[in-house]
Amino acid sequence: IGSWGNRFRSVLDHLGEMHRRLGIPTFSFPIVGGQLLLLLQPHFEEEEFLTVGEEVPVEAEDLEEAFATLYTEVMSIVYHPMIQEEKLVKDAEEFFNTVANELNWSPEKLSKRLLEVKLEISNTGTYSHSSEELEIGARLCWRNSAKCIGRIAWNTLEVRDCRHLETPAEVFEEVKEHLRIATGGTNIQSVMTVFKPKSIAETWGLKFWSSQFVRYAGYKNEDGTITGDPGNLEFTDYLLERELWKPPEKKTDFDVLPLVLKVPGVRKPYVYQLPQEFVHEVHIEHPTCPAIKDLGLRWASVPAISDFNMNLGGIDYQCCPFNGWFVSIEVVRNLMERYKVQDRWADAMGLDKTQKMLDMRLQHEIQTAVLHSFEDQGFTMVDPEQVGSSFFVHCKRERDQGRECPAQWSWIGGLVGPTNVTWHKEMRDFKVLPQYEYCAEHWLTVKPPDEFALLESASELDLQSLAKEKESVLGARPRILIVYGSETGTAEAAASRLHRALKLLKPSLACLNDVAGLNIVKDKRITHLVAICSTFNRGEFPGNAKVFSESDIEPDILKGTKVAVCALGSSLYPDFCKAGITLERKLADAGAQTLASFTKVDDATGTDGPLSDWTQLIQRLILPPKLEDIIRSNLNVQTVTKHNIDWQKQLDVTEEVKRYTHVDSPDCMLCVCNDELIKGGDVEDRSTRKISFKLPEGVKYVAGDHLSVRPLNSIDSVMRFTRIYKDELLEAAAVAGDCPFNAADNEDAMLAWQLQQPFSIKTTEDGETFDANLVFETPATLGEALQTSIDLTLHVSQVADYIGLIKGLITKEMPGWDSGKQKLRKRLLQLHNMVFEDSKQTRESSVNKILSEFPTILDFLETFGPLLCTETKQGEDKKEALLPLADILSVLPRLNARSYSISSSPNDDPSIVSITVGAVNVKTSAGVSIKGVCSNYLARIQPNEDFVSCGIRTSSFRGPPKLSSPVIMVGAGTGLAPMMGFLADRALELESCVDTDKAGKCLLYFGCRNTDDHIYNSTITKWNKSNVLEPNIAFSRKPSTPKTYVQDLIEQDSKNVCQFLLQPETCYYICGDARVADFCFEACVKALRAHGDMSRVAAVQHIKQMRAQNRWQYDLWGIIVHFNEAKYEFKVKKEAGAKHWLKRFT
């Protein structure tokens, strides 16, 4: 019976999902049931007639009632998904109507957003708010909260969007950040931090069990008295009984309870003790009675509430801690009603305990002390009179806006007392959405551990019940076009991964330029268009998307086509995701329907995770599991893909692999200078070089622009790859019959000959043969393709793809494998488990370990090549590698151009452009060498001989607008590069300036290892003597000198830096490692706080204002130069966090 019940429930669940997908409304079910009763009525009457005279006759009326009952019960399961969805859509409509009114949205924008939400709900069962919607929703919840008297500041609430965080450690880090921002230098700022919402599958979402960030423990003593806060007595006992927390050995009235976080799916809660520096407390003292201080009373300064629910349009945010500030009477009541301090207070002040109205006198004195203490210790607090008057003003403002203000008198008028104007105000308590909601104490609802058993999964649905659905699926099989605009390769790589994930549906993949005008949509009847586009320079489209951006699109050409757009960019720059935004609008104007909400991915916070999440969402929307099962199992679709190399003949070859040259490229430039800048530099070890090129006629640039360089892989890398596939290449050369060499006499010459033979690759799939989708044009020689077009570096985003691909090749052990191959197979399966079967946190660490051991595909294939890339017996005669050459070439990514900051000025010499390049030669933590592809290529080019394919890329990084502007420049190592161009312009201006006294001062903070590494030393010294700049040099590894970095220089010179930053025309520039930029940002914030009389919030706001005025500019890159340091710091931080959690658990 249990098995049958599971099967029947699966059928009903499937029917419900099918009805939901087809959009059948729930009100239609009773109508359908009524029609079914009419159809069955004759059968019921026939059954009644047939049983006449029997011992237990059947009446038609009873059958009808039984059917109606059965239908009602069954349909309640079937239409449950629709009820949820309809309610969510209704709640969302109400919410967005409110938001549209508040933000003055146009009817078109509201209609469009509602359509997006409905489509997302239809596809996923839920939807997501944008950060703007989250912010206004949270503020409206505060405005609508009937119990809050301090709502006048509702529209100043700072909302922090932390929905992307996954781990408890990250959540607790943001708790500390919340408290840091809330105090903002002791002035309380109202803040809300919003974590991920409850999913539709969860009863409870991510949730704090702690009611506030800072609450005091309550202990019941043996004599029945209570030490601490009686309000937390039960929760304290709960933690102690379950050994979730260990109190101090000496218990006091003010022991801070830990924060307790419950994560869905994890049985045991996470417990975290806030560091003392984040537990902001106010010690209570009286302005005229010193004895009060000896009572040892205190209270938290920030009332951060953490256990309520925020419902925004049907989406529940159960983990969204919020703080405002205290009204003095709230703290007074806590001390009097919970801590019962009256007797101790009266004794300390020497009051007569028999006098009338003693409690009122004590309330007045305690309130006086609380107000004095908060103000004296620099924390915001309002008194009842002040807050009551402000609430009265708030009500008037609401009335002027045509809104009635909900209010609960016992929490508003009753709080401030009869002398306040609010006491006499008539109030009406009613619910306005959106709203904060009180929640049950989650920890009280948790059942004993033995009731946490997981349910067994239901048996699979009989595929015969899907027959009708299959027919509709066949007619609606998606036709997909995936397009990308990519400058550095990130967008192209993501598009390629999605293309492989949707291979079952045979999607088309192209760059945006190749589909300009989108006529392909009409020609191929495209139903789904997915676009991934990065932003380049000042909000421009990448080179392979420029033609598309400038082309016209026929109106309504995308009508009926579902579109999803993902925009890549960096929030460090002004035009964040501008190209993606423009693309999304262009597609919308062409009549596109929304497949998924427009998504922005910020490179400043990392692209791998968000991009992976987005591509998985698109995959689920276009190819849900049920559709995939139908196509695979019932439509007999074969997805076996075969790649074949077609070798051609080229007899004019050499005995060695030729080094490719860019001399024939239309964008090539002649190298005219390649000078070492550091003393004793060596390109094999450490080298920083000044490399100059002759500009082609008509090509111009401005100081601060970038030079985009197309690198070449080294001949050594090409030969390493060649030796991995030695067997296949030698066999191809032998089969050709024209090779003048043989493997026995000169194997290297034979390989070199084959590398110079043209080839193309054909793909065979489902009986069709077509040109393979490669990152290079064919026919081409393998030597040229490996040097110019193929990226041999292994990236984080590729690890799972490659491991997953290889797992499919080694699932079954081949007969005849020796022990060596068996060991390699076992190791590969272990890598697969690390990447795919571990938790997300462990998986991240595993991927980093794999990359440390195999930083390039060459390292990986050299290790596993004997198993994957050498011939394996299949049958008696045929031999073939598991991963043949054609297969690996079809998945390797494109070798993209690298951008370098230009370190020269056209005003100095308009025919020459220079860059500063540090050759990257480091080792991973596993001891494997990494050589930067482009930096090592550039370091070895020969002046006046070699041409390089490169071009000018306009940048938003621009020098000071005028000579009188004060300037701060910060750069470490090659981060000095763009500053050299700016300083060259400044030097020329000063030479021609009549009144040099009016020139603004220029502070340079430069960091390097030691004096030998001080690049451009002589030039900087010369400019220092001519007052072009004032250099400040930090040496991190100079003998007998303390280790110093540029951020240390800024802190040491903080007073001067503060004076500069406060001047209205000061320009701040930083170039280099992104981590250095963060450290220097913090150093500047400290300088403003220390010498500018600013809170942290004010200091950060001042810098934000400089950014908005384009006076604070970045030119940043990643952290590869600090590979070991960054990896080590990451590892130490994670291990420390893990040890901390283990201590809490044990």
Total-model pTM: 0.57
> Quick one: average pLDDT of 850-866?
93
The secondary structure of residue 212, as a DSSP letter, is B
Q: Convert the pLDDT of each residue in 568-626 to its tens digit.
A: 988 767 788 899 999 998 998 898 988 887 888 888 777 777 787 788 788 878 887 65
* Lowest pLDDT segment from 31-40, 340-349, 844-853, 958-967: 31-40
Helix (H) or strand (E) holding 385: helix 384-400
The secondary structure of residue 875, as a DSSP letter, is S
pLDDT, position 619 = 84
For the record, the structure tokens of 1033 come out as 């040099």
Note whether 708 and 951 are within 8 A (CB): yes
Torsion over CA: 600, 605, 611, 613 (sign): negative
Q: How far is CA 921 from the centre of its chain?
A: 30
Q: Convert the pLDDT of each residue in 771-829 to its tens digit.
A: 888 889 889 999 999 999 999 999 887 888 888 888 888 877 777 788 888 899 999 98
Note whether 915 and 702 are within 8 A (CB): no
- Share above pLDDT 90 across residues of the chain, in percent, rounded to a whole number: 49
Look at residue 468 and tell me whether its pLDDT is greater than 50.
no
Look at residue 1113 and tell me whether its pLDDT is greater than 60.
yes
Q: Convert the pLDDT of each residue in 863-872 to its tens digit.
A: 999 999 987 6
Task: For the chain, state the CA radius of gyration.
Answer: 35
Look at residue 252 and tell me whether its pLDDT is greater than 90.
yes
Torsion over CA: 788, 641, 608, 1137 (sign): negative
Note whether 325 and 380 are within 8 A (CB): yes
Q: Which of 1012, 1017, 1007, 1011 is nearest to 1050 (CA)?
A: 1007
Count of CB atoms within 10 A of residue 241's CB?
8
- Do β-strands 1112-1117 and 1067-1073 pair in parallel, antiparallel, or remain unpaired? parallel
Q: Convert the pLDDT of each residue in 619-653 to its tens digit.
A: 878 887 656 766 665 555 555 678 899 998 876 77
Q: Convert the pLDDT of each residue in 869-900 to its tens digit.
A: 987 655 555 567 889 999 999 989 989 889 99
- Do β-strands 309-312 and 435-437 pair in parallel, antiparallel, or remain unpaired? antiparallel
Q: How far is CA 613 from the centre of its chain?
A: 9
Note whether 17 and 81 are within 8 A (CB): yes
Q: Convert the pLDDT of each residue in 998-1033 to its tens digit.
A: 889 999 999 999 999 999 999 999 999 999 999 999
Note whether 690 and 941 are within 8 A (CB): no
- Do β-strands 912-919 and 687-694 pair in parallel, antiparallel, or remain unpaired? antiparallel
Kindly report the average pLDDT of the chain as a whole number. Answer: 85
- Which residue type does 1110 have? N
pLDDT, position 626 = 56
- Share above pLDDT 70 across residues of the chain, in percent, rounded to a whole number: 89
Q: What band does 462 get if pLDDT is binned at 50, 70 and 90?
A: very low
Q: Which of 670, 1146, 1145, 749 is nearest to 947 (CA)?
A: 670
Q: Convert the pLDDT of each residue in 218-230 to its tens digit.
A: 999 999 899 999 9
Note whether 567 and 535 are within 8 A (CB): yes
pLDDT, position 1144 = 45
Please state the length of the chain.
1146
Calpha distance 1058→1091 (Å, rounded): 6
Calpha distance 954→537 (Å, rounded): 6
Calpha distance 222→472 (Å, rounded): 72
Helices (H), 149-206: 168-183
Note whether 532 and 484 are within 8 A (CB): yes
pLDDT, position 1138 = 47
Calpha distance 756→737 (Å, rounded): 15
Torsion over CA: 1098, 1102, 1107, 1112 (sign): negative
**DSSP bridge partners of 259:** 272
pLDDT, position 117 = 86
- Do β-strands 768-771 and 872-873 pair in parallel, antiparallel, or remain unpaired? unpaired
Q: What band does 1121 get if pLDDT is binned at 50, 70 and 90?
A: very low
Calpha distance 311→552 (Å, rounded): 43
Helix (H) or strand (E) holding 117: helix 107-124
Phi and psi angles of residue 262, each rounded to the nearest 5 degrees, phi first: -105, 125
